[in-house]
Amino acid sequence: MAPVRLRHPKGVTTLQVDLTNGTVQDLQHAIFAATEIPPSQQELKAGYPPHPLTLVPELPIDSLGLKQGEQLVVTQRSSGISHGSGLPPTAAAVSSGLASSSPAAAMTGMTASQVRSPAAPVSTAAAKSTGPDYVPTSSGYLVHRVVPDDNSCLFSSVALIFEQDISKAQSIRQIVAEAIRKDPIRWDEAILGRPREEYIRTILKPQAWGGAIELSILAEHYGTEIASVDVETGRVDRFTPPPEKDTGNRAIVIYSGIHYDATSVTPMLDAPSEFHQTIWSRGKDDEEDDEMLRAAKKLADALRAKRAYTNTATFDLKCQICGKGLKGEKEARAHASETGHVEFGEY
């Protein structure tokens, strides 16, 4: 454990933080205990002059680049949308260690075959009783585009959004593998959490999960910000390309805790898929005024009301390689770090 000085609206507190094994989520919970600022509304800054930190709860604390005795400044936002640049440009991403030092960093898209339990659907303006959930916008309807419940859900969602063809999920994996292969400095063993060639072989397997590392690479490849909206918390994590590749556009995926789905805008609810728009201009600089992000958060609200999410801290897992039973993503991350096993299923 290491001391981290926390400056917040109520004063100054010293937190004891496990900088080596703890996750960003662990840090946020400790901050909540000291400040009563919910994790979804926390905005953290560090360094001198203080600069915003990108908070991806499933990543390890060392992804933030904190040092023992460092001072953190926490303020409260009015919404759960993450400010800042999502994943920063290449050099900043490497220097801050934004990618996980654990193999489990890539494991945030596991199969969700048990997620959508038969809870009674609720009646909301943003949901239909016999079809995909949707939210009205000035351009039509933002629609929840459900992809298969398999370990390729992140890649299927990206294929649907950028290639309009869900069957190209394996091609999306190839893009990730090639990006890692071509840039051994940025994507070194420390960032990936395991030998580079092993990571590449694993991510090419249909059973391997995708997560923050993959979203960062794909945002850069397509020159488009990918915003991931968390159903349980309403938090929005933004993965942005470097400035020289940034087209100023955005795509949105929905994250249920162990599953990713796509979104698109349709002029009419019964319009064929070829009329759906999956990429938009980012619009206003102020995220809280961006219509599509507001609509995506409302979509997450509708799914949350149906309990269409999984709490990754408490769900039961089984390692598909050795059969060991695990509880929550933290134990899965530790097991992956110890064994290199990255194929899990939910009990």
Q: What residues are labeled active site?
A: 150, 153, 259, 341
- E-strand spans in the chain? 2-8, 11-17, 42-46, 51-52, 71-76, 134-137, 140-145, 224-230, 236-239, 249-255, 260-266, 280-281, 316-319, 325-327, 344-346
Task: Please enumerate in sequence order all residues whose Cβ is within 8 A of that of 109, keeping only pairs 6 or more positions apart, or say none.
Answer: 151, 152, 153, 154, 209, 210, 211, 258, 259, 260
Omega of the bond prior to 118 within 30 degrees of 0, cis? no
Cα separation values, 216 from 80, 98, 113, 333, Å: 20, 10, 26, 20
Q: Hey, what amino acid is at 152?
A: S
Comparing CA positions, the residue from 298, 294, 292 lying closest to residue 279 is 292
Cα separation values, 168 from 155, 156, 165, 194, Å: 8, 7, 6, 27
Residues 232, 238: Cα–Cα separation, whole Å: 17
Residues 153, 169: Cα–Cα separation, whole Å: 8
Three-class SS state of 273: helix
Residue 93's Cβ-count burial label (10 Å; 0-12, 13-18, 19+) is buried
Residues 42, 30: Cα–Cα separation, whole Å: 12
Cβ neighbour number for residue 119 with a 10 Å cutoff: 10
Strand-pair category, 51-52 with 134-137: unpaired
Comparing CA positions, the residue from 208, 272, 216 lying closest to residue 245 is 216
Task: Please enumerate in sequence order all residues whose Cβ is within 8 A of that of 338, keeping only pairs 6 or more positions apart, or say none.
Answer: none
